[in-house]
Amino acid sequence: FDLYSKKKYYFCNFIQCLRTNPDKVNSKFLFYILKFLYFRGSTNNLQNQTTGLRNLKLKEYSKLKIPIPYKDNKPDLETQKRIVEKLELAEKLKENREKADELTREYLNSVFLDMFGDINYNPHNFKIGTIRDLIIKSQYGSGKKADENNGEFPMLRMNNINYDGSWDFTSLKYVDLDKNEQEKYLVYKGELLFNRTNSKELVGKTAVYRKNTPMAYAGYLIKLKTKNKAISEFISAHLNSKYGKKYLLLKCKSIVGMANINAQEIQETPILLPPEFLMEKYEKIVEQVEQLKQNQQKSKKEINNLYNKLMQQAFNGEL
């Protein structure tokens, strides 16, 4: 918070207020130091756990030694300010990267609406059918228990599909499948995976599998096989649209805190039936955007590495 701001802030009993001495330390500089110590794990041993919550031992926390630059036996406020400016610039780069990622997602949504329109209004007068009209077959995933490290095939689970239809491959388990199981439980490039069981807000997450090598998929997922990838991309965009999300939310059945949509119900979902050449055109745009997202991800990683490097340098006296 701005030390000289006239705004008043209130905080609850789960928050501790630290008021800095402006003659000794820049408040933003102290903020970055404490943030650095937290992410480095310095506070892990300064916590008590009660009834599922962790509490910071404030007395011990206040004794943490922090690196404050000095000059002529006095706190060097100018150096602190200079370090803050560099770290703020790096944080701004991170924020701009995240905004660009969001704009990319919004762009693809707007392209879909422009090309096909909202099914509620159907401005292009396409035929309306169901997802069953666009798929060859559906298949439930494997109920085999996956292992953290061992197995021929990575196994996709419901947490690997993000709400917006993108993928998160950071947490994978592995499974062995015989030939018969491979025919059923492997997903290939261009096929769809649908999350049939989850919380009510997350059930129905859908994504197109785009990798060249197949993966297994677990029992809470349903595979939808289509004639080609263009149709898969179109179905995925429809189910991830506002209409699709709302429809699935109304359609799902809640049982003991979990919601479910079965294979028959997903196939009965209303959908536009545009000409295939339009779906192919949309697929090409998706491929371009996916390539852009890969470049953005690389840029994001580089920016995060830069930020972490600057933090290390700042508090090791190298800036």
Residue ranges for the chain with pLDDT beneath 50: none
pLDDT score for 3: 58
pLDDT score for 278: 97
pLDDT score for 1: 61
- Pair of tokens at residue 316: 């090791």
The answer for residues whose C-beta is within 8 angstroms of residue 259's C-beta and 6 or more apart is 197, 198, 199, 200, 203, 252, 253
pLDDT score for 241: 93
Q: Model's pTM, two decimal places?
A: 0.74
What secondary structure does DSSP assign to 55-80, as a single string? EE-HHHHTT------EETTEE-HHHH
What does the buried/exposed string (b/e) look like for 122-154 if buried means 16 or more CB atoms within 10 Å of the residue's CB? eeeebeeeebeebbeebbbbbebebeeeebebb
pLDDT score for 18: 83
The answer for residues whose C-beta is within 8 angstroms of residue 206's C-beta and 6 or more apart is 161, 165, 192, 193, 194, 195, 235, 236, 239, 240, 244
- Helix (H) / strand (E) element for 90: namely helix 77-116
pLDDT score for 37: 85
Angstrom distance (rounded) from CA 297 to CA 303: 10
Domains of the chain in start order, with CATH, are: 127-273 (3.90.220.20)
pLDDT score for 223: 98
pLDDT score for 8: 82
Q: What is the pLDDT of residues 118-130, one digit of tens each?
A: 999 999 999 999 9
